[in-house]
Chains A and B, each alone.
Chain A
Amino acid sequence: MALLMFSNSLPSAPRSFSLDKMATPAVPASAPPATPSEAPAAASSPASAPVPAPAPASASAPAPSPAPAAAPSPAPASSSDPAAAAATTAAPGQTPASAPAPAQTPAQSLSGPALPGPFPGGRVVRLHPVILASIVDSYERRNEGAARVIGTLLGTVDKHSVEVTNCFSVPHNESEDEVAVDMEFAKNMYELHKKVSPNELILGWYATGHDITEHSVLIHEYYSREAPNPIHLTVDTSLQNGRMSIKAYVSTLMGVPGRTMGVMFTPLTVKYTYYDTERIGVDLIMKTCFSPNRVIGLSSDLQQVGGASARIQDALSTVLQYAEDVLSGKVSADNTVGRFLMSLVNQVPKIVPEDFETMLNSNINDLLMVTYLANLTQSQIALNEKLVNL
């Protein structure tokens, strides 16, 4: 089991700043005194690059700095990094060639296409519910003494959003001043998963717990080597504020120009997407919330139709209640709602009664005929069985 040990010491002194060339700012293994020596090294290669003016130092949430900020993220995979496994500075040297085209770093050892540019304010992360259920389940199965669990997120990227479709948990050990993550395991699992779904890429990682700790920064840095600009997802299983809050972050650089860079996690919008069948599955599973020992059975066909019609009845009674309230003056009338109501009532198609009768009857006849045929077939094969066994 190959462990990767990070020792925890955040930069306390600012480091030299060059936004567009530097990778996610590394956490130096040594204490601050080493930083000035690294600073010139870092500054040397990208020295020519212009430092963009707007400092992202503002801690305000969704405004990550424009263009170059995320460009450095592909850097970690570049060749200068091999020996950097032991938590030393992440690759400071990024070839200037990659600067103008941050979106095109495919030739490097990354496992997929680079995310196009940084996350603009509205970048969205789409989650499937199966991910969250997985995360909660692995949290429930965590080892004794572990406060949280982490794992990898897999999914696909497209131009405007990132869709997370799968995940697996990765064993790790965390203590006051050390974090150990089993990299070998993560790689193996990813290979196995790729066999099933070859389109999934590593998108980032998740952690349970309600806060981002310093260890998170270290782990995030590891993941930034696996994926360009990884996302970090937190699921608050400790239920702070009585809610299980689910948040996603991406790391951006912050700091004062000319000094040490720090990392800030900026939140992203999280949306939940479902496939249709997934929706149906989730609706079903949700019913366990209402049953005493959290167990539900699967219902048979006619029961389902009954259930659906009951739901429609409820919805209709709510609407009726609203209409009556408006009529009696309790609630002020709202034109948009009124228009919706109107279209609702007009949804029922107006058909001449005789025509409808014929349609209905022919449909019913079809169904009855099919039922009869099915029954006939069944009795036929039963007969056949008997004859053969004579």
Chain B
Amino acid sequence: KHNAHAQGVPLRRKMASRKEGTGSSATSSSSTTGAAGKGKGKGGSGDSAVKQVQIDGLVVLKIIKHYQEEGQGTEVVQGVLLGLVVEDRLEITNCFPFPQHTEDDADFDEVQYQMEMMRSLRHVNIDHLHVGWYQSTYYGSFVTRALLDSQFSYQHAIEESVVLIYDPIKTAQGSLSLKAYRLTPKLMEVCKEKDFSPEALKKGNITFEHMFEEVPIVIKNSHLINVLMWELEKKSAVADKHELLSLASSNHLGKTLQLLMDRVDEMSQDIVKYNTYMRNTSKQQQQKHQYQQRRQQENMQRQSRGEPPLPEEDLSKLFKPHQPPARMDSLLIAGQINTYCQNIKEFTAQNLGKLFMAQALQEYNS
């Protein structure tokens, strides 16, 4: 079982529940959402098995609530997604949250919690097939080793699983920010080998843009829920906070830029490390070469003097080859920087629009 190492936020997604899922999928409850519970999606040959993710409104509300009540600051909140797979669509029909990992209950058994929860949910006819997990994020910084490992173990066990990234801060600014990601098949291959040296990555032809693929999301509600929504709309007061059109944006921008700068610093350090490695290796090569040549010369001299040649020495012992730095981290950093940049661009586009609107108002006024 794969244990993601603690990196700020320890994630431990054990896949013990998979067996239970397979065993009972045959008897999967007659979910009345209308979706025919066909078998699992077929793993495409190189193609991703999931083309679209369909989420119930209920899941969205639950995720929002979970973060709102239990998440503070930079801590992430996580939970499990339940649903089923229909052809090339992943339907997520329910979810449940995971307790925060605290230091004092180290003996808290996550697997047991998960098993019990799923067993109980099965009693009330909720889909108990594990299809992924969700996580909240802080200003979009989710491309971490821990996430990669967890998603890999999930995707390894269940072909179609996704990770939903919920950005509460962006949501608070006016529009729901929920994205579904999967690892590309190429990355899956590399992770399986667990070989992150430069050669392997070059072979796999992985760039930071091809690490995660985003799957489009749609939200679907049943008719009864629609009725409920109408009812709520009648009864609820109009929202008094309309953040979407607010012009006060510099705080958010500042934070994101700060994070971006940190990452870029890390990246440059990494590059320096890599360069040193390259330089050292080439220097070493040169030294080896020189040594060999000297040896040969000496041997020739000795031969001419009639002495036995010096014994061959194991060059690799003399010149220990340097370890190539693992490339996975730098790949992750690059991916994270990319995400930040995307976010920033989206953000500035929005703000430019808003500024022009403000200008139009002012013109009319004067």
- Taking CB as reference atom, which chain A residue is nearest B357? A309
Q: Taking the nearest CB of chain B, how far is it from the CB of A368, in angstroms? A: 8
Q: How far does the Cβ of B352 sit from chain A's closest Cβ, in whole Å?
A: 6
Residue pair A298, B125 in contact (C-beta under 8 Å): no
Stretch at the interface among B14-22, B300-308, B341-349: B341-349
B62 touches A304 (CB 8 A): no
- Grouping DSSP codes into helix (H, G, I), strand (E, B) and loop, the A interface class, with mixed when no group exceeds half, is helix
As a 0/1 sequence over residues 234 to 254 of chain B, the CB contacts with chain A under 8 angstroms (1 = contact) are: 011001011111000000010
- Give CA–CA (A246, B69) in the complex, Å: 24
Q: What's the nearest-Cβ distance from chain A to residue B284, in Å?
A: 19
* Set B120, B176, B352: member contacting A192, Cβ < 8 A: B120
Q: Tally the A-B contacts, defined by beta carbons under 8 Å.
A: 255
A143-B228 in contact (CB<8A): no
Q: Which parts of A258-308 form the interface with B (CB within 8 Å)? A: 272, 274-286, 288-289, 293-302, 304-306, 308
Does residue B140 face the partner (Cβ distance < 8 Å to A)? no
When C-beta atoms are compared, the residue in chain A nearest to B226 turns out to be A289
Interface stretch of the complex, out of B42-50, B143-151, B214-222, B309-317: B214-222
CB <8 Å contact, A130 and B230 = no
Whether B64 contacts A281 by the Cβ 8 Å rule is yes
At the interface, yes or no: A378 with Cβ under 8 Å from chain B? yes
Q: Which of B155-163, B167-175, B185-193 contacts A (4 or more CB under 8 A)?
A: B167-175
- Asked whether A367 lies within 8 Å of B236 as measured between CB atoms, the reply is no
Contact of A370 among B233, B264, B348 (CB under 8 A): B348
Given the interface contacts A196-B97, A296-B219, A308-B245, does A385 sit within 8 Å of B60 by beta carbon? Answer: no
Contact across chains for B230 and A289 when beta carbons are under 8 A apart: yes
Contact of B56 among A128, A137, A280, A297 (CB under 8 A): A137
C-alpha spacing A385/B297, complex, angstroms: 42
A351 close to B (CB within 8 Å):
yes
Q: How many residues in B have their beta carbons less than 8 Å from beta carbons of A?
A: 105
Assembly CA distance A348 to B207 (angstroms)? 49
Question: Of all chain A residues, which has the CB nearest B34?
Answer: A140
User: Is A142 in the interface zone, CB < 8 Å from B?
Assistant: yes
A353 CB within 8 Å of chain B? yes
The stretch that binds B, out of A61-69, A237-245, A331-339, is A237-245
**Residues on the B chain within 8 Å of A169, using CB:** 124
Q: For residues 127 through 164 of chain A, which have their beta carbon under 8 Å from a beta carbon of chain B? A: 128-130, 132-134, 136-143, 149
Q: A195-B99, A283-B239, A297-B217 are in contact. Are A137 and B225 (CB under 8 A)?
A: yes
Instruction: Assess whether B125 is in contact with A277, with CB atoms less than 8 Å apart.
Output: no
Q: In the bound complex, do residue B216 and residue A297 qualify as a contact, i.e. CB atoms below 8 Å apart?
A: yes
CB-CB under 8 A from A246, the residues of chain B are 231
- A165 to B359 alpha-carbon distance, docked (Å): 42
Chain A, 345-377, CB within 8 A of any chain B CB: 348, 350-351, 353, 356, 360, 363-364, 367-368, 370-371, 374-375, 377
Interface size on A, residues (CB 8 A): 88
Interface pair B57/A140, CB less than 8 Å apart: no
Interface pair B58/A298, CB less than 8 Å apart: no
| A132-B227 Cα distance, complex, nearest whole Å | 11
Please tell me if B354 contacts chain A, counting CB pairs below 8 Å: yes
Known: A298-B219, A301-B349, A381-B338. A280 touches B171 (CB 8 A): yes
- Complex Cα–Cα for A259 and B101 (A): 55
Cβ of A199 to closest chain B Cβ, rounded Å: 8
Q: B350 contacts A301, CB within 8 Å? A: yes
Binding site for A on B (CB under 8 A): 29, 31-33, 54, 56-58, 60-62, 64-70, 93-94, 97-100, 108, 113, 116-117, 120, 123-126, 168, 171-172, 174-176, 178, 198, 201-202, 207-209, 216-233, 235-236, 239, 241-245, 253, 257, 260, 264, 267, 271, 274, 327, 330, 334, 337-338, 340-341, 344-355, 357-359, 361-362, 365-366
Top 5 nearest A-B pairs (CB, nearest first) are A285-B57, A130-B61, A141-B125, A374-B341, A367-B348
A-B contact pairs, 9 of them (CB 8 A): A130-B64, A132-B228, A134-B62, A138-B126, A295-B218, A296-B218, A298-B218, A300-B346, A377-B260
A residues engaging B (CB < 8 A)? Answer: 128-130, 132-134, 136-143, 149, 165-166, 168-171, 182, 185, 188-189, 192, 195-197, 237, 239, 243-244, 246, 272, 274-286, 288-289, 293-302, 304-306, 308-309, 312, 348, 350-351, 353, 356, 360, 363-364, 367-368, 370-371, 374-375, 377-378, 381-382, 384-385, 388-389
A280-B176, A374-B344, A378-B338 known; 4 new pairs, CB 8 Å cut-off, are: A130-B58, A285-B229, A289-B226, A364-B355
